[in-house]
């Protein structure tokens, strides 16, 4: 003879399995909707975004930019040295400044423009030697400040609005700006590149 408690235990176990399955499906769906080229953003829900320094956002944004560039250039296949050379060019301050100027041409919100300004005005004391005294494009410090502003806004978007980050980087990817940066941005000489 079966005990009703056995049925209840089976029912409870089945309900728990269904709940776990639904949670896994929800987690999987959340993963599907997040970007497929980068990790999930850090959780700063216990802090205000401005509690972090612009330099912290710049460090995060720099890694976002490099991962984006590496992912973008990965296919079609090329020689590793060509791939590496293109990545290095696009990860340099000159290309980042170019991308910053292009991104600010699209419609940014007042808050986004304020974050860019915050990033440009941060105290960066480590301007690369190759940029010091550079006269083109407003001087090396200006190039570095623009590149830093790009890194800050990318880091900001990753933390506060990853959908906006995806939207803007998709526009960068489809606009031809990266190809333009590879061909038209003025880079330093070989000697300057080593600095």
Q: What is the CATH number of the domain that holds 185?
A: 1.10.1520.10
Mean pLDDT of 136-161: 86
**Other Cβ atoms closer than 10 A to 44:** 12
Residue 170 forms part of a structural domain = yes
Give pLDDT, residue 146.
Answer: 93
Is 103 within a domain?
yes
Of residues 65 and 129, more confidently modeled: 65
Residue 52 has pLDDT above 90, yes or no: no
Dist. CA 185–CA 96, nearest whole Å: 10
The string of pLDDT tens digits covering residues 15-24 is 666 666 666 6
Q: Is 39 within a domain?
A: no
pTM value? 0.72
Are 165 and 151 in contact by the 8 Å Cβ rule? The answer is no
Residue 17: Cβ within 10 Å count: 10
With 60 as the cut, is the pLDDT of residue 32 above it? no
The domain in which residue 94 lies consists of 54-193
In a domain, 129, yes or no: yes
Whether residue 141 lies inside any domain: the answer is yes
Q: How many domains does the chain have?
A: 1
Residue 31 covered by a domain: no
Enumerate the active-site residues.
62
| 121 domain-assigned | yes
User: DSSP string covering 34-68, please?
Assistant: S-SSSPPPP--TTS-GGGS-HHHHHHHHHHHHHHH
State phi, psi for 48 to the nearest 5 degrees.
-80, 140
Taking residues 106-132, report their average pLDDT.
Answer: 83
Asked if residue 122 lies in contact with residue 152, where contact means CB atoms within 8 angstroms, the answer is: yes
User: What percent of the chain is modeled with pLDDT above 90?
Assistant: 47
Q: Is residue 21 part of a domain?
A: no
pLDDT in the model for residue 11: 61
| Spatial contact of 120 and 145, defined as CB atoms under 8 Å apart | yes
> What pLDDT is recorded for position 33?
43
**What pLDDT score was predicted for residue 42?**
78
Task: Please state, as a whole number, how many other Cβ atoms lie within 10 Å of the Cβ of residue 120.
Answer: 20
């Amino acid at each position: 003879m079966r005990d009703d408690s056995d049925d209840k235990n089976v029912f409870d176990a089945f309900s728990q399995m269904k709940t776990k399955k639904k949670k896994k499906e929800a987690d999987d769906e959340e993963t599907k909707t997040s970007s497929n080229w980068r990790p999930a953003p850090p959780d700063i829900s216990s802090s205000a975004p401005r509690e972090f320094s612009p330099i912290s956002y710049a460090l995060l944004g720099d890694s976002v930019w490099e991962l984006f560039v590496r992912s973008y250039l990965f296919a079609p296949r090329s020689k590793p040295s060509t791939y590496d050379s293109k990545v290095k060019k696009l990860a340099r301050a000159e290309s980042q400044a170019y991308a910053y100027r292009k991104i600010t041409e699209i419609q940014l919100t007042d808050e986004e423009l304020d974050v860019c300004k915050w990033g440009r005005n941060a105290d960066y004391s480590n301007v690369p030697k190759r940029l010091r005294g550079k006269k083109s494009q407003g001087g090396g410090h200006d190039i570095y400040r623009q590149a830093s502003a790009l890194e800050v806004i990318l880091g900001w978007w990753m933390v506060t609005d990853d959908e906006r980050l995806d939207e803007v980087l998709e526009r960068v990817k489809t606009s031809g700006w990266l190809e333009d940066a590879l061909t038209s941005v003025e880079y330093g000489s070989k000697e300057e590149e080593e600095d």
